[in-house]
Chain A
Amino acid sequence: MSISHRGAATALFAIAGLTGSAVAYGATAEASQDPTTSSVTARGDIKNVIYLLGDGMGRTHVTAARQRYYGASGRLVMETLPALGQVSTYSVERRSGQPGASDFVPNLVTDSASAATAWASGVKTYNAALGVDAKGNVKPTLMELAKQKGYRTGNVSTAEITDATPAGQMSHVLARGCQGPAYSEASCQDTEVTGSPLPTSDLRVTPVADQIARNGTADVILGGGLARFDRADQRALRDQGYQVLGSPATQTVATESDLDAASRRKVFGLFNKGNLTIEKYKRENPDSAQAEEPALEEMTAKAIELLSRKRKGNGFYLQVEGALIDKRSHANDAAQTLEETKAFDDAVKVALDFAKQDGHTLVIVTADHECAGFNIIEKGTFTNAEAAAPPLNADSGNPANSSTPSRVGGNVKDPARSSGTINGAGASDPKNFAPATFRTPDDPAAVQDGTPEASLWLSYLSGNHTGADVPVFAYGPQSGRVDRSIDNTDLFDIMGHALRVTQ
């Protein structure tokens, strides 16, 4: 065979060139469409990182919310992300070294502050510490490093913006209680770490609100906690070019309409003097002032809109927290816990939709810790707390596992400790340990929440955090790096690598 015409040869070259481009494009597109294989993608392909966490959201929170809203065979949006792993969350005691050091002293159950410091600064620290290690040394945060490298940055939460999770990216304090507006020795100093009180001019005892209002770490700040800020903070924010929604000076909270109209590169908007209002209340009270607060998905969408306007250079780094999952789990309020988990998942959808369209965005969804030992028990069964006698919780020395009873008198339900579903017939009994029950889309239409017929039976172990690992889901370039068992400090490396701000 031979080519006899110059034109044909030229055409062939053109076709070949196009084919080469198409092959290259196809490979890229494939990587985007199948993010589980994209962990090998050059990290230059990542422009943005969106990190979403459900505070206190353990594996069972995710499962229960899925069953509640989508049925047994459904999936939350976060569960559709192709990469899935699990994260260990332990913290350390005061003055502890890092893992592997001779003075390493772990604490198996973290709080939100220590967890936030783990992923934000890459170090283990003691419960209550933010942006410092367990010996009190200041550690840069990912958001600070990203800002320094020219990324746009955002921090969104349904909690007070000075609360541990958002503050972990934007401040450095010895004690998470040092939120402001005022300094106090009890809330800001920790002499067990520092030996003696630090000068009040030291960053580590400077209230979080004062730091956030002046360090410019986040370009877009959306959440609650207006009461932590005052007139001087408002002036400092405006001096840096922030569009301040509402007014810290007059303690006027921002509204959803204010958020819609926000347009500057730097926006500061707090929609409640404290934490934002739970979605269930807003849904049931649509005419209330609280119903004017934006939902997490709306704040997330606006933050992405504002941050993604930059077209050249580095992209953006955004952290989004669904904070009220934890707060309602502490209160053992399953109904609100479920609804807040769903609201968080709606924010995940916003981030995921953007990432799919953008093609250069890594989305990571996880939690800081599990809260309250949330669990799904089989319909019609009962928990230890409802039993007439406690479990022995000891080795009976029985090799056959068949003779010594697990409880004196057997494992039977005590009607005085289990007087009916707590969101139904047993609601008025303060000594009732029974589960809360919820209908799912799989239940017959007549089945109601709080009845024995509802199929989703939920119980809490305690009102406190637990040491259980938490799930992590990811989408986008390098998402495969979370597709395993990792530690919460690894998230610092994963996101830092993606943003090219760490080794």
Chain B
Amino acid sequence: MYSSPEPATTTGPRTGDRRWPPHTVVALLLGVVLVGAILFRIVQHDSVGAAATQREAGAVAAPKAAAPSEAAVKTDLPGIVAPTGEPTLGTLADTHPAPGRVAHARGPFDDRFTLSRLSLDRRHVGGVLTITSDVSDLLELQVLAGFYDRHGRLLGTGRFVHHATGHAHAHVGTPSLKEPFTVPVPERLRGEVHAAAVGVPVLVNE
């Protein structure tokens, strides 16, 4: 918008030899500059996409952003079967250790540890698990033991569980590479166990 002290007849565009007063020209130019700037912004936002353009429109009146939605969390996970108990190792059934022996039942984390000092007596199977990968923290460890009769038939299982509680848990002292473990022979199997196998279905070491 502009105003002019001159009569309207002298300010409007004319045919032929048209002359515009300087302040009119300046005002028009300012207007065109503004239009150009606005056009640029519109084009720029077109490149960002329709959604962004809508947001830009909302920049005049601050847009209402979406509140965090619980619906964003997917709780329906296809194909998941809820576990009914503690984990096992399928390899226990395929292992048939000779009497007096403690075998290693294969599991998902075998490249992260070694087993040593494996021993079996009438009441326990035990040994030392030495972690060979990262050990900034040993959060979870489960050693699953299978107990076998003299013919190498699986009679039952037992477990050793290391669980860092998260209180003063793991970040106490320097991390340990070695975790001694002992798994008692179940009462009902006492006297029948002649061999064992141990494996690791759960291991979380940072």
Across the interface, do A13 and B32 meet the contact criterion of CB distance under 8 Å? yes
Cβ contacts A to B, 17 pairs, < 8 Å: A1-B22, A3-B18, A4-B18, A13-B28, A20-B34, A23-B37, A45-B48, A127-B166, A140-B69, A144-B74, A145-B66, A177-B163, A177-B164, A182-B202, A275-B133, A275-B134, A313-B50
**Contact across chains for A313 and B49 when beta carbons are under 8 A apart:** yes
A206 in contact with B36 given A177-B140, A326-B136, A463-B173 (CB within 8 Å) = no
Inter-chain contact B36/A148, CB cutoff 8 Å: no
Residues of B near A345 (CB, < 8 A) are none
Asked whether B78 lies within 8 Å of A239 as measured between CB atoms, the reply is: yes
Q: A330 and B29: CB pair below 8 A?
A: no
Determine which residue in B134, B163, B173 has the highest number of CB atoms from chain A within 10 A of its CB, and name it.
Answer: B134
Chain B's nearest CB lies how many Å from the CB of A113?
Answer: 9
| Other-chain contact of B68, A122, A131, A216 (Cβ < 8 Å) | A122
Collect the chain B residues with CB atoms within 8 Å of residue A346's CB: none
Q: From A183-191, A297-305, A409-417, A435-443, give the one contacting chain B.
A: A183-191
Known: A4-B18, A330-B137, A331-B135. 6 other contacts (CB 8 A): A2-B25, A184-B201, A273-B111, A360-B48, A464-B172, A501-B66
A172 within 8 Å of B by Cβ?
yes
Query: Which residues of the other chain, A, contact B201 by a CB distance below 8 angstroms?
Result: 182, 184
Q: CA separation between A29 and B112, bound complex, in Å?
A: 52
Q: Does B190 contact A (CB under 8 A)?
A: no
B136 in contact with A330 (CB, 8 Å): yes
Instruction: Report which B residues bind A (CB closer than 8 A).
Output: 17-22, 25, 28-30, 32-41, 44-45, 48-52, 55-56, 59, 63, 65-75, 77-80, 82-84, 86-87, 108-109, 111-112, 133-137, 139-140, 142, 161, 163-164, 166, 169, 171-175, 201-202, 204, 206
Interface centre among B17, B72, B109 (most CB of A within 10 A): B72
Chain A nearest CB from B9 CB (Å) reads 16
B28 to chain A, nearest CB (A): 7
Q: What is the minimal beta-carbon distance from B85 to any residue of chain A, in angstroms? A: 9
Residue contact B140 to A186, C-beta cutoff 8 Å: yes
A331 CA to B22 CA in the complex, in Å?
77
Point out the residues of chain A lying under 8 angstroms from B35, CB to CB: 17, 20
Chain A, interface size: which category? 35 or more
Which residue of A1, A6, A42, A109 is within 8 Å of B18 (Cβ)? A6
**Chain A 42-73 interface residues, beta-carbon cutoff 8 Å to B:** 42-45, 47
Please provide the chain A residues from 249 to 272 with a CB less than 8 Å away from any CB of chain B in the complex: 251
Is A183 in contact with B83, judged by CB distance below 8 angstroms?
A: yes
Q: Quote the shortest CB–CB distance from A492 to chain B (angstroms).
A: 9
Residue picked from A45, A214, A235, A330, most chain B C-beta under 10 Å: A330
CB pair B171–A465 under 8 Å, yes or no, is yes
CB-based contact B39/A21 at 8 Å: yes
